[in-house]
Amino acid sequence: MVLSRFLAAVVAGAMLASLPVLADDIQDINLQFRKGDLTSALDHANRFLAQNPKDAQARFLKGLILADLGKTNDAIEVLSALTTDYPELPEPYNNLAVLYAAQGKYEAARNALEMAIRTHPGYATAHENLGDIYAKMAAIEYDKVRTLDSKNTGAQIKLKLIRSMLGGQAVKPATARPASGPKPAP
């Protein structure tokens, strides 16, 4: 479920084509990001956003850059604000979900992915990520069953299958949804 730098760059490129922007600056920021020059990309994004504070592509790239820099809470803040200002864009919701899942906030991740799918029902990546979230949530529940009833072989088999399906990824115990996270549509 972790977006690679390449996939994030592809998504950012798709956003470039979908909204009018000052393409040269955005393309430069995106290129710095793809090359892994995160500090320069962030500086460039901040300078650009000082002049164009509502630019969706630059804000999205800034969120991706912050996430790659390990500044998860800052990235969540940027992407959450983007979903408020541009609720029709599915990519910020999807990337929020990735960040929430990495923190073990599976309910928040699920809500964000459901919003991405509501805005763009054909967004295959969001559907796949939602499947991963459901699998992780199921693994947590089957692990609880195993703890409560060690003789429940059905739950043990299901847990083993899900862990295998997730490629041996460790599943963090679920944590509470943050108060500032995206809200599901009514």
Residue 174 lies in a domain: no
pLDDT, tens digit, 9 for 90 and up, residues 68-92: 999 999 999 999 999 999 999 999 9
Contact predicate 174/106, CB 8 Å: yes
pLDDT surpasses 50 at 19: no
Residue 173 lies in a domain: no
pLDDT band at 11 (very low <50, low <70, confident <90, very high): low
103 shares a domain with 15 = yes
CA atoms within 13 A of residue 26's CA, in its CB half-sphere: 21
pLDDT band at 4 (very low <50, low <70, confident <90, very high): very low
**Domain of 157, in residue numbers:** 132-165
Please enumerate in sequence order all residues whose Cβ is within 8 A of that of 63, keeping only pairs 6 or more positions apart, or say none.
75, 78, 79, 82, 92, 95
Question: How much is the pLDDT for 3?
Answer: 46
Question: How much is the pLDDT for 174?
Answer: 61
Residue 12 lies in a domain: yes
102 shares a domain with 17 = yes
104 shares a domain with 142 = no
How far is the C-alpha of 171 from the C-alpha of 179, rounded, in Å? 22
Question: How much is the pLDDT for 34?
Answer: 95
pLDDT, tens digit, 9 for 90 and up, residues 39-50: 999 999 999 999
How far is the C-alpha of 5 from the C-alpha of 109, rounded, in Å? 20
28 shares a domain with 53 = yes
Question: How much is the pLDDT for 23?
Answer: 73
112 shares a domain with 69 = yes
